[in-house]
Amino acid sequence: MTEANRISFAEALACIDRVAAAARLPAESVPLSRAHRRVLAEDLVADLALPGFDNSAMDGFAVRAANLERASGEGLRLAAEQFAGRDLAHALAPGECIRITTGAPLPAGADTVLMKENAALRDGRVFPLATPAPGTHVRRAGEDVSPGETVLRAGQVLDAASLSLAAALGRAELRVARRPTVAVFTTGDELRPPGQPLAPGEIYDSNRVLLQSLLMAEGCEPVAWPVLPDDPARLASALRDAAFSFDVVLTCGGVSAGEKDYLPGLLREEGEVHFWKVRMKPGMPVLFGRLGEAHVLGLPGNPVSVLATFLGLGRRLLDGLQGRGAPRPSLRASLQSPVAKNHERLEFMRGVLACGDDGQLQVRPNPAVASHRLRAAADSNCLIVLPEGIADYAPGEVVDIVPYAGGLGGG
Ligand SMILES: Nc1nc2c(c(=O)[nH]1)N[C@H]1C(S)=C(S)[C@@H](COP(=O)(O)OP(=O)(O)OC[C@H]3O[C@@H](n4cnc5c(N)ncnc54)[C@H](O)[C@@H]3O)O[C@H]1N2
Ligand code: MOO
C-alpha cells in the first residue's frame, strides 16, 4: 500500500466520530460522588436561585445604610442575632442593627452589612467606624443563578466545580453516559510480564501498563487479558470472546505487514474494517473496525505508537461513544529548537511543554523520534503535532500540542 492509499489523520478522526455517533452508549443515573469526569447526558436547568435568599457575605451587623451616618454618634441598638441556619424572620427597626454571620439571611429592612472589624460594641450599642455604601457585603438572591437557567449542558465533562454547582442546586444524581467497557490485549511471542526472567529474544510487556494507565486516566476500568501468543487461532478465539462482552477491544501489535500480523484479516473475515493505515507517524499501521458487538482499535506494537494512537485516536473513540460535546481544549506552543521533518506523514513528536518567562507556552522537542524510544516518551509530557508535508521548523514557530494528561478544562 502506498502513502496515497492510506487515509489522513483527519479522515481517521472523522471515521471514528461517525462510528461513535451511531453507537452512543446509553445514559445512566449516578450519584454526584460517582459522576466526576463523566460525560453529562442531560442539560441541567436550575430550579432554584443561587444564592437562594439575600444573605450576608461577612460576620458583622445587618444595618440600613441610610441610618449609619446618624448612628455614628449615638450608635445603633443591637436588637437581635441572626446566625447562618434557620431564618428567624427578624425585621430591622430604625435605629437598630442585628448581629449577623456569613451566610445568614439578611433581616427585612436591612440592606447592608457592617463588618465586625468596622464596628465598636459598647453597652448593647454598635458604633460604626465606617460608612459602607448601600448593599455592601450583601449577597443578592439569584445573582449567581436564576431559576430556569441552563447551567450545565449535555456533552460536557463533569469536573469538581460543575458537580458542586449541581449539588448547590439540590441535585443528588445526574444522568451521565455509561462508561465504555474496555478489554486490553497485548500480543506477541516475545512478551513476558515484568518480574519474570527473560529468555534470549524476549522483552518485557510495557504496553499493557501503558494502555491500562492511559485508560484509567480516562476513567475507564480496563480488563487486561493475558498476553496472547502470535497464534491466529488463540488470537481469534480470545478476541471473539471479548467482542461480545466489551464495548471496546484495544489490541497492540500484529497490525503491520509481518508474517504474524493476523488482526486485519480476522476483522475482514469476521467483522468489518473501517480503516487500516493512517498517514501518521508513529502509528501508521493502526486498524479500526468492528468484531461482534465491539469496536476494535488495533494499535501498532511499538510503545510510542501505542501512546500516539491512543492519545490521538483511542481517546476520540471513548469521547465519541460517551457523546462528549466540546473537543478537548487544544494547546499551542512555540518550538524551542528546530525540527527538520523529512517525511510526508503527520507526525506526533514527543516534547516537554512548559511556560516560559514571558508567560507563553514553549515546547522542547525530543530528537529521539523512533517509535521504540520509550525513554524519550517518558522524559516528555506531551505530543507535538506536525502537519503532513516535509518542512523545516524554526525555533519560535508555533505548533499544536496534545498533553499526555487529559488536558485543561474538564479534560
Ligand atoms: N514491512 C513492514 N514492516 C513494518 C511496517 C510496515 O509497514 N511494513 N510497519 C512498521 C511500523 S511503523 C510499526 S509501528 C510496526 C507495527 O507492528 P505491529 O503492530 O505489527 O506490532 P509488532 O510487530 O507486534 O510489534 C512492533 C514492535 O513493538 C514491540 N511490542 C509489541 N508489543 C509490545 C508490548 N506489549 N510491549 C512492548 N513492546 C511491544 C515488538 O516487540 C516490536 O518491536 O511494524 C513495523 N514494521
Ligand atoms: O508508525 Mo510505526 O507506529 O512508527 O513505528
Domains of the chain: 3-25+179-321 (3.40.980.10), 55-139 (2.170.190.11), 331-403 (2.40.340.10)
Please write the tens of the pLDDT for every residue from 83-136.
Answer: 999 999 999 999 999 999 999 999 999 999 999 999 999 999 999 999 999 999
* Residue nearest atom 24 of ligand 1, based on CA coordinates: 253
Query: For ligand 1, which residues put their CB under 6 angstroms from it?
Result: 186, 188, 190-191, 203, 205-208, 252-258, 261, 282, 284-285, 300-303, 305, 371
Query: Could you tell me the pTM of the whole model?
Result: 0.92
Judged by its nearest atom, the ligand closest to the C-alpha of residue 281 is: 2
- pLDDT averaged over every residue in the chain: 94
Asked if the bond preceding 264 is cis, omega within 30° of 0, the reply is: no
Give the Cα separation of 72 and 118 in Å (integer): 12
For residue 281, what is the DSSP state?
A: E
Strand 361-365 to strand 346-355: parallel, antiparallel, or no bridges (unpaired)? antiparallel
What are the backbone dihedrals phi and psi of residue 128, each rounded to the nearest 5 degrees, phi first?
A: -70, 135
Band (pLDDT 50/70/90 cuts) for residue 231 is: confident
CB 76 within 8 A of CB 196: no
Instruction: Give buried/exposed letters for 363-382 (b at 16+ CB in 10 A, else e).
Output: bbbbebbebebbebbeebbb
Tens digits of residue pLDDT in 48-90:
999 999 999 999 999 999 998 877 789 999 999 999 999 999 9
Predicted ipTM?
Answer: 0.96
Report which ligand 2 atom has the smallest distance to the Cα of 305.
3
409 pLDDT band, cuts 50/70/90, is very low
Q: Whose CA is closest to 292, among 245, 256, 332?
A: 245
> Is the dihedral angle over the CA atoms 206, 39, 411, 318 positive or is it negative?
positive
User: How far apart, in whole angstroms, are the C-alpha atoms of residue 337 and residue 65?
Assistant: 62
What average pLDDT does this structure show over 3-26? 93
